[in-house]
Amino acid sequence: MVVQLPPELIERIVEAIPILEKKSKRLFANLHLNLDSDGVLSALAVSQRLDDFPRHAEYCTTCRVLLSKNPDTWATEQPVVDRILRQLTSLRTLIVMNYFANSARIFNATVIRGLLDIVLQPDRKLEHIMFSNTAITLPVLARSLGAAPQLTFHNVDVVSDEDGHATPPLTRPLTRLGISGSQMVSTAIVDPAFEPYLKGVCQLIQSNITTQGHLAPLFSLASTLQQLHCYFSNHSEEVLSLPTSLPHLRKLIFGVESYNLPVVLMRLMANGGLPSLEDLKVHLSVAYTTPERLEQRITAQSGLYAEFDSTLAGHPALKVVTWSLFLQHSLSETERAETELLQTLRNLLPKTCARGLLLVGGKS
């Protein structure tokens, strides 16, 4: 049973905590552990700090582990790392990273399995697991899918494992899945054996999308998703296909590296594929151009915008349509460019503006 304290009592409790302790909690909320270092981030150094200041372990909610490229180093440090992780009883986020391109992938996957053996104990309540620039096995993938509400893969490979991919029990339903690149993860995750782990996913964030294979999770989750963030690279949105229907999707962020209106998005909306959509954001990541050239590039698509305007204005559930710009190598010009874009879109999307739907960079 959860007991909800009255606000007056919570305020008194917070006021009673010394200000230095409040600062300490923020300062020590993150712990960095470099398994290939003999400096201040080494396992031995971190372990010594925890011995000197035991409450650091209580304050720590996020642990970043940089993997070693040397099996001999790991054999020496593993007991120390195990001890550190067991002390982090308040841990909520585990981030496992690898910066070494020549690291043995099977070795990294084995180390990750050992880390999960410690942090995924029944008395732990992890909220987020992230893997970056490393490799995992199918058993680790399955275990991660059922271990925390949020799971993120950034440039992750999947390697074979002699244990197969037995599916462990689902302990904490996954609700938010992030995949950047990671073609092998996108392929593996739609295996029917993993379907029970994905039933609760309502938010999918995918970036660095370049092939149709990257979109496999989107097709698998199409019937249940409520939020989707998808960022396409190298104009891939022009040739890739999306599910014909995302019936429960309420929020969509659609990012492209182009000034062109995403035709695949237009078709999806025009064909009634997003009946529940309330919040649409089109994010353009583009090279800097002059105001005149920006207007020319947008107005050259006036026919497409007229068609899109009718679709947006006639959508029964839509509440806001936002355009945002990211000017590569010229961030200081973003605000000015968004002002120019807003004026241009006002002219091209009159029906959408009349409904009060249009925003550009927070301005209407």
DSSP letters of 151-204? Answer: EEEES-EEE--TTTT------S---EEEEES-HHHHHHTTSGGGHHHHTT--EE
- Radius of gyration, alpha carbons of the chain: 24
What stretch of H or E contains 347?
Answer: helix 334-348
13 or 333, which is more confident = 333
Spell out the domain ranges in the chain: 14-160, 202-364
In the chain, what percentage of residues exceed pLDDT 90?
Answer: 40
In the chain, what percentage of residues exceed pLDDT 70?
Answer: 85
**Beta pairing class for 176-180 and 203-209:** parallel
- Predicted pLDDT at 166: 56
Contact 253, 279 (CB under 8 A): no
Tokens coding 248: 């429960």
Following DSSP, what letter does each residue of 271-336 receive, concatenated?
TT--TT--EEEEEEEEE---HHHHHHHHHTTHHHHHHHHHHHHT-SS--EEEEEEEEET-GGGHHH
Residue 277's identity, in one-letter code, is L
Residue owning tokens 């993120």: 152
- Predicted pLDDT at 17: 55
Whether 176 shows a pLDDT value over 80: the answer reads: yes
- Predicted pLDDT at 128: 95
Following DSSP, what letter does each residue of 82-128 receive, concatenated?
HHHHHH-TT--EEEEE---TTS-HHHHHHHHHHHHHHHT-TT----E
**Whole-angstrom distance, CA of residue 268 vs CA of residue 236:** 16
Q: How confident is the model at residue 23 (pLDDT cuts 50, 70, 90)?
A: very low
Tokens coding 361: 């960079």
**Whole-angstrom distance, CA of residue 180 vs CA of residue 326:** 18
Q: Which pLDDT tens digit goes with each residue over 47-106?
A: 888 887 777 788 888 989 888 877 777 888 888 888 888 888 888 999 998 876 556 778
Identify the top-confidence range among 75-84, 128-137, 161-170, 337-346: 128-137
* Mean pLDDT of the residues in the chain: 84
Q: How confident is the model at residue 18 (pLDDT cuts 50, 70, 90)?
A: low
- Predicted pLDDT at 151: 97
The one-character DSSP state at 251 is E
Q: How confident is the model at residue 304 (pLDDT cuts 50, 70, 90)?
A: very high
- Regarding the domain delimited by 14-160, which CATH topology (the fold level of the hierarchy) does it fall under? 3.80.10
Q: Which pLDDT tens digit goes with each residue over 200-258?
A: 999 999 999 999 999 999 999 999 999 999 999 877 777 789 999 999 999 999 999 88
Q: Which pLDDT tens digit goes with each residue over 320-340?
A: 999 988 877 666 777 788 888
150 or 19, which is more confident = 150
**Whole-angstrom distance, CA of residue 209 vs CA of residue 234:** 9
Contact 182, 155 (CB under 8 A): yes
- Predicted pLDDT at 234: 79
- Measured in residues, the chain has a length of 364
Whether 348 shows a pLDDT value over 60: the answer reads: yes
pTM, two decimal places? 0.86
- Predicted pLDDT at 68: 80
- Predicted pLDDT at 14: 47
Contact 84, 42 (CB under 8 A): no
